[in-house]
Amino acid sequence: MLFYGPPGTGKTSTILALAKELYGPEMIKSRVLELNASDERGISIVREKVKDFARMQLTNPPPGYKSRYPCPPFKIIILDEADSMTQDAQSALRRTMETYSKITRFCLICNYVTRIIDPLASRCSKFRFKSLDQGNAKRRLEDIAQLEGVTLEDGAVEALIQCSEGDLRKAITYLQSAARLVGASSTDVDDDTGEMDVDDKAVTIKIVEDIAGVIPDATVQKLVMAMRSRGTGERYREVSSVVENLVADGWSAGQTMTQLNQVIIYDETIPDIQKNKIVGVFSEVDKRLVNGAEEHLSILDLALRVSKIMAGR
């Protein structure tokens, strides 16, 4: 099997839950081999450790164990973050996967399926994990907050999901940070109930946005208004002033681009032909930032070029 999709969508959790359900607590150690990106996974490991585990004969489950767990007659090798494996290591896997397929099954997990070589991908059943929908993510976050005794303000869960962009792991981390900020402490555990002692103060939308580094809407709107100024000289002065304040306040260029892009793309007063040109500018500046360009100059250049397009020039 090949599981692929964005981070924090439950790929590793799915296969581990499946393995636990198939083999139970006693057999899982002898039937499942999990190798993560943090482990050495070069060609030598594939040829030795993986191959040795793949060809190892199956041990029989204890008497009566099969009545509780299915224990199918094969082992599972889980290669997490398989897209970080070298091409040589991936090539070495091909033969092993075919030779021992009767007694060993493989599960490759990756974020980018394009980094898995074609001969390996064609030997797998592909399962795409998409970003979690708002309903399921909201339910899970509310369950965690309830179990940990964290009070959430109306709209805080939606803010968590929006800031994490469908990554449940990131959303849980933000929730944990927000809970600590309002007074939750893992050391203050009630001996009788086993629950955290949390102040009555609720986790608010503002706290979530502060932790996630979201720029306030008023600041983004100020930049958009400056970009809509009439005269060229006046427009440069206003845009330059707002961008300078943005950088001085410590907002990241990447976050500025993301939020500015959303405001402009969803603005129905801007014609589609202009939006088409604006997206090209965004992609160009994004590439520059990835390559390590100076943030202040990049955002200033982006704002002035987009402003020029919006002015119809």
Query: Residue ranges per domain, the chain?
Result: 2-128, 134-212, 217-310
How distant is the alpha carbon of residue 249 from its chain centre? 26
Q: What is the pLDDT of residue 187?
A: 45
Alpha-carbon gap, residue 61 to 58, rounded angstroms: 9
Write out the CATH class of domain 2-128. alpha beta
Kindly give the confidence (pLDDT) of every residue in the chain, 313 residues in length, as a single tens digit, with 9 standing for 90 and above.
Answer: 999 999 999 999 999 999 999 999 999 999 999 998 778 788 888 888 999 999 999 988 988 898 999 999 999 999 999 999 989 999 989 989 989 999 999 999 999 999 999 999 999 999 999 988 889 999 999 999 999 999 999 999 999 998 998 899 999 999 999 999 988 544 455 555 555 554 458 899 999 999 999 998 899 999 999 998 777 788 899 999 999 999 999 999 999 999 999 999 889 999 999 999 999 999 999 999 999 999 999 999 999 999 999 887 6
Q: pLDDT by residue (tens digit) across 186-204? A: 445 555 555 555 445 889 9
pLDDT recorded at residue 59:
87
Q: Which fold has domain 217-310?
A: Zinc Finger, Delta Prime; domain 3 (1.20.272)
* CA nearest to 175, candidates 188, 161, 193: 161
Please tell me the predicted confidence (pLDDT) of residue 41.
80
Please tell me the predicted confidence (pLDDT) of residue 192: 55
Class of domain 134-212: mainly alpha
In DSSP terms, which residues pair with 75 in a beta bridge?
Answer: 104
The tens digit of pLDDT for each residue in 41-100 reads 888 888 889 999 999 999 889 888 989 999 999 999 999 999 999 899 999 899 899 899
